[in-house]
Amino acid sequence: MKPFRKGEGGPLAQGRLETRIGDKKPLYTDGEAAAEASRCIYCVDAPCIEACPTGIDIPTFIRKIATDNVRGAARTILADNLLGYSCGRSCPVEVLCAGACVYNHWGRPAIEIGRLQRYATETALSRDPALLAKTRKPPTGKRIALVGAGPASLACAGHLALDGHEAVIFEKKSIPGGLNTLGIAPYKLQADDAMAEIQFVLGLGDIELKTGMSVVAGEPSGEGEISADSLLRDYDAVFVGLGLGPDRTLGVPGEEGPGVYGATWLIEQIKTNPEFSLEGVRRPVVVGGGNTAIDIARELAKLGLGEVTMVYRGAAEAMSGYAHEMEGARLDGVRLLERRQPVAIERDGAELRGISVAPVVDGTADAARGETLGCDLVALAIGQARLTDLAKAFDGVDLDERGRVLVDDATCRTGHPRVYAGGDCVNGGKEVVNAAQHGKLAARDITAVLAASS
């Protein structure tokens, strides 16, 4: 969203592959937005609000668009979700707000809530980037450290700043934003627009972003590292938004070597690395059946890399990826090969030649009936490792059996009274909007606790 602050898109270079992919749902014109907003019947106790993880008062913001009160619409959205802009573009509205719209049961097209939300936030913040900053409370002198600069931490820092606190975000990568800049499918949201939203959040108040800074469990081994202990010592509270770790691997022969990539790594290259090239790729294969698998498959298809094949172990109906996304993938030219288990990567020397897949019968791969799919790229979208070991560096913080940080649902507080956590490291990997909600809940509780103690 160029708009927020022109020329301050952050450290993103030109020529990134994602910029070759068009915007699936472009910004509405004023007339289009007014017409769509006027379709909304302004329900009371609306199901769309209930379906929004951040509880945005959707009918009210839509009515405000219809009455030409676009800034008011943006205020309504941002009050509940500071990342309302990126969520408007990246949320799977088909299974959230729009999926709950009363029109669905009525046989009419649901209101385009995501597009209206994008219209309101993008239009209002372009006109008035300081829309919310003006409402900031006086400084409290309290300082909060945030680990990771993904959506959960950004939302948390923004709310904390509006409450008058100082927020310091430590991000180990050079590019902030986490999933928003590095992972959202480019036809929904591109990295420079995500960066513009980050600029908006950073402008909400006293927020310092320290990139290239890792928080470590033990003693720091040099510059660029800071210990978890020092955060507890130097700050009034700590928010942990670690996200997820590296892509998981298959553990099959031939996997190591060129041409086989983790899906989130590959998406990050497509979105942010101008040097990264997929020149010559003609037959990519994606392994997995979740939303990351569908995303990378669609991106490869939209980049024109020939026929993209998705290999999924179970039946199509059992995929964890959204049906509407898979439908879109098919339209983009993605072929789904269901009930197939990769058993080996075939190479000619170092060069990738194909992937051997075996049919899965009753949950078991039948290696004897394996076949080889010729391919020149394999993207593995079979989950991500946990990064939550660091969380244990804080006394009292516990993980569940799946490695997720345990928090109180209402406050996102961990077992340590001054340590909070949210986002993927807590929920195991969900949407930006779920992370934004965690950040908001934590900020509210931090403000309440700090106010009570001072």
Partner 1 sequence: MADLSVDFCGVRSPNPFWLASAPPTNTGDQVRRAFDAGWGGAVWKTLGNPIVNVSSRFGGVDYGGGRLMGLNNIELITDRPIEENLREMREVKKNYPDNVLVASLMVETYEEWKEIIRRAEDTGCDALELNFGCPHGMCERGMGSAVGSEPKVLREITGWVMEHATTPVIVKLTPNIGDITEPAEAAMAAGAPAVSLINTIKSIIGVDLDTMVPTPQVGGASTNGGYCGPAVKPIALHLLGQVARMPNVVPISGIGGVSNWRDAAEFMALGATTVQVCTAVMHYGFRIVEDMIEGLSDFLDDQGYGSAQELVGRAVPQYKDWGDLDLNHHAVASIDPDKCIGCQLCYVACLDGSHQCIHIPGMSDEEKRARGHVAFPAHVPDRPVTAAGGTPGARVPYVHEEECVGCNLCELVCPVDGCITMVEKRRGPQVDTWADWAGRGEDLRPGSLDATRKARGK
> Using CB under 8 A as the criterion, what x/- string covers residues 322-351 for binding partner 1?
------------------------------
Enter the tokens of residue 235.
Answer: 């700050």
CB closer to partner 1 out of 32 and 338: 32
Supply φ then ψ for residue 305, to 5 degrees: -90, 40
CB closer to partner 1 out of 112 and 166: 112
Q: String of b and e for 79-108 (b: at least 16 CB within 10 Å)?
A: bbbbbbbbbbbbbbbbebbbbbbeeeeeee
Query: What does DSSP say about strands 207-211 and 166-171: parallel, antiparallel, or unpaired?
Result: parallel
How far apart are alpha carbons 283 and 270 in whole angstroms?
Answer: 17
**Count of residues near partner 1 by CB under 8 A:** 16
Output the smallest distance, CB 54 to partner 1, in A.
19
Output the smallest distance, CB 79 to partner 1, in A.
12
Considering only residues 35 to 64 of the shown chain, the ones binding partner 1 according to CB under 8 A are 38, 42, 44, 60, 63-64
CB closer to partner 1 out of 134 and 402: 134
CB closer to partner 1 out of 69 and 273: 69
Considering only residues 434 to 453 of the shown chain, the ones binding partner 1 according to CB under 8 A are none
Output the smallest distance, CB 293 to partner 1, in A.
32
The DSSP result for 409-422, as a single string, is TTT-B-SSTTEEE-
CB closer to partner 1 out of 23 and 400: 23
How far apart are alpha carbons 384 and 116 in whole angstroms?
Answer: 32
Is position 174 an interface residue for partner 1 (rule: CB under 8 A)? no
C-beta neighbour count of 454 within 10 angstroms: 9
Output the smallest distance, CB 60 to partner 1, in A.
7
Considering only residues 65 to 124 of the shown chain, the ones binding partner 1 according to CB under 8 A are 67-69, 71-72, 75
Q: At what angle do helices 323-332 and 291-302 cross, to 10 degrees?
A: 20
Is position 31 an interface residue for partner 1 (rule: CB under 8 A)? yes
Q: 């039946």: which residue's tokens?
A: 315
Output the smallest distance, CB 416 to partner 1, in A.
39
* 349, 351, 432 from 87: Cα distances, Å: 45, 40, 7
Query: What does DSSP say about strands 377-380 and 260-262: parallel, antiparallel, or unpaired?
Result: parallel
Supply φ then ψ for residue 298, to 5 degrees: -65, -40
Q: Which residues sit at the interface with partner 1, rule CB under 8 A?
A: 29-32, 38, 42, 44, 60, 63-64, 67-69, 71-72, 75
